[in-house]
Amino acid sequence: MRMTEKALVVLCALGIVADLMNYDGGSVLALLALLVLSLFYLFFGWLLMRHKETGAQVLLLSVLSSIVIFQIAIGILFKLSFWSIANSVNFAGVAFAMGLYFLATTLSKKTKENSGLIAFYKNVSGRLIGFILAGALFLIVPQDALIRFKYRADPAFAELYIKYMNNPDNMELWENLQQYKMKNER
């Protein structure tokens, strides 16, 4: 289970890099890896974070941590897909993850003599901090910068795409974008 998690995280990182570097199949790899990682955490994340010596009292923290990790992964996926809702989803995930991180670290410091609970809280904190940092990175980077970087070989297309993304209801911008794509066989 943990090896699957590590393999998915590595695939996500490779997919994101390949997508941003415009390698063939990079977008598909990033999409599939992030989707599988998010669903993996949604359905099996609570199993990854539990500890043998812990009981039902930590189940809620495990489930909530899995859900916010799922949300951060989906937020990153949306950001790479240039969806307008990406920052909202990612921000909510990072904010809740930070709350859970502080809860887990506080409970870890208050727990005495139960090494199982301390190990559980450290396990949850470690996973959360990794996803908080990844989510925060994608929150900090503006959508326009991602578009310009991804389409750096064709700056005119990037600027048309940015204009359209800033005003998606403008059909004239959409038509200009489509005409440019057809003219340049993108």
The domain of 111 spans 2-141
How many distinct structural domains can be found in the chain? 2
Are 153 and 108 found together in one domain?
A: no
pTM: 0.87
Note whether 28 and 106 are same-domain residues.
yes
Q: Are residues 26 and 77 in the same domain?
A: yes
Q: How sure is the predictor about 54, in pLDDT bands with cuts at 50, 70 and 90?
A: low
Indicate if 45 and 131 belong to the same structural domain. yes
Query: Secondary structure of the chain in the HEC alphabet?
Result: CHHHHHHHHHHHHHHHHHHHCCCCCHHHHHHHHHHHHHHHHHHHHHHHHCCCCCCHHHHHHHHHHHHHHHHHHHHHHHHHCCCCCHHHHHHHHHHHHHHHHHHHHHHHHHCCCCHHHHHHHHHHHHHHHHHHHHHHHHHHCCHHHHHHHHCCCCHHHHHHHHHHHHCCCCHHHHHHHHHHHHHCCC
pLDDT band at 55 (very low <50, low <70, confident <90, very high): low
159 and 87 both lie in a single domain:
no
* Same domain assignment for residues 121 and 147: no
Q: Tens of pLDDT along 97-125?
A: 999 999 988 888 887 776 777 888 888 89
User: Are residues 177 and 120 part of one domain?
Assistant: no
Are 150 and 67 in a shared domain?
Answer: no
Do 27 and 105 reside in the same domain of the chain?
Answer: yes
Q: Are residues 25 and 86 in the same domain?
A: yes
Instruction: Give per-residue pLDDT as tens, 34-51.
Output: 999 999 988 888 777 766
For residues 102 and 148, membership in a common domain is answered with no
